Amino acid sequence: MTSLYLLIPLSIGLVSLAAGVFIVAIRKGQFDDLDRQQQRMPDE
């Protein structure tokens, strides 16, 4: 039971960090035009 007092805040912090990184990536336009980027890759 005492381990939950450590794991629950740790997991909430990790999820908050991941959500923050995702939101920053969206705001900077990381996911805007994925089709054009795919066409720019060389054919192998």
Return the domain boundaries, the chain: 1-39
Question: For residue range 2-17, what is the model confidence (pLDDT) as tens digits?
Answer: 899 999 999 999 999 9
Question: For residue range 16-43, what is the model confidence (pLDDT) as tens digits?
Answer: 999 999 999 999 988 777 666 666 666 6
pTM beyond 0.75: the answer is no
Check: CB of residue 31 under 8 Å from CB of residue 25.
yes
Check: CB of residue 21 under 8 Å from CB of residue 15.
no
The b-or-e profile of 19-36 (16+ CB within 10 A means b, else e) is: eeeeeeeeeeeeeeeeee
What is the DSSP-derived secondary structure letter of residue 33? Answer: -
Hey, how many other C-beta atoms are within 10 angstroms of the C-beta on 39? 8
